[in-house]
């Protein structure tokens, strides 16, 4: 049985923290939602710069930009899942033991980078919104009705 030479070594906790710190530095380019040729080139250049900085600062294993990008996307996906689980567990009703979600410092740092992708957008006009405390649902319907009648 042969062992593959392409086996990757797992990222250490220090390497994950370094990667998140470097992504934080270039987050405006990496998390840009546009999808045109210029943006893709800028993102590729940013990942090349991150690769150079990562390899010069890590001192452990040499990683290429493809591996770093893949690791970051996996960490981002894991962070979204953990915060989603936490939100779901907090809204559960009924008995049973509380199931804590293990949220790490890396997850919190990634949440700070991607922001609204995890927390979502607030809606002031949603009657179920916690932000909508100024008017009750009935008052807002009355105001809308009164506005329509006065026209």
pLDDT by residue (tens digit) across 61-105?
899 999 999 999 999 999 999 888 888 877 777 766 777 778 888
Which string of DSSP letters, residue by residue, matches 105-123? HHHHHHHHHHTHHHH----
pLDDT 10s digits, 12-52: 999 999 999 999 999 999 999 888 999 999 999 999 999 99
How many Å apart are CA 150 and CA 130, to the nearest integer?
30
Inter-axis angle of helices 105-114 and 65-91, to 10 degrees?
Answer: 100
Kindly state the average pLDDT of the residues 6-11. Answer: 80
Whether pLDDT at 149 is above 60: no
Whole-model pTM: value is 0.71
Written as six digits, the tokens of 20 are 């998140």
Query: What is the C-alpha R_g of the chain?
Result: 23
């Amino acid at each position: 049985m042969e062992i593959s030479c392409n086996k990757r070594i797992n990222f250490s906790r220090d390497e994950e923290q370094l990667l998140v710190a470097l992504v934080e530095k270039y987050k405006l380019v990496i998390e840009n939602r546009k999808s045109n040729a210029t943006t893709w080139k800028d993102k590729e250049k940013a990942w090349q710069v991150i690769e150079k900085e990562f390899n010069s600062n890590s001192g452990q294993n040499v990683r290429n930009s493809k591996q770093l990008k893949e690791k970051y996307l996996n960490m981002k996906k894991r962070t979204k899942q953990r915060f989603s689980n936490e939100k779901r567990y907090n809204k559960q009703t009924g008995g049973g033991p509380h199931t804590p979600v293990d949220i790490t410092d890396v997850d919190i740092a990634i949440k700070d980078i991607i922001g609204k992708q995890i927390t979502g957008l607030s809606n002031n006009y949603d009657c179920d919104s916690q932000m909508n405390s100024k008017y009750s649902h009935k008052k807002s319907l009355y105001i809308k009705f009164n506005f329509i009648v006065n026209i």
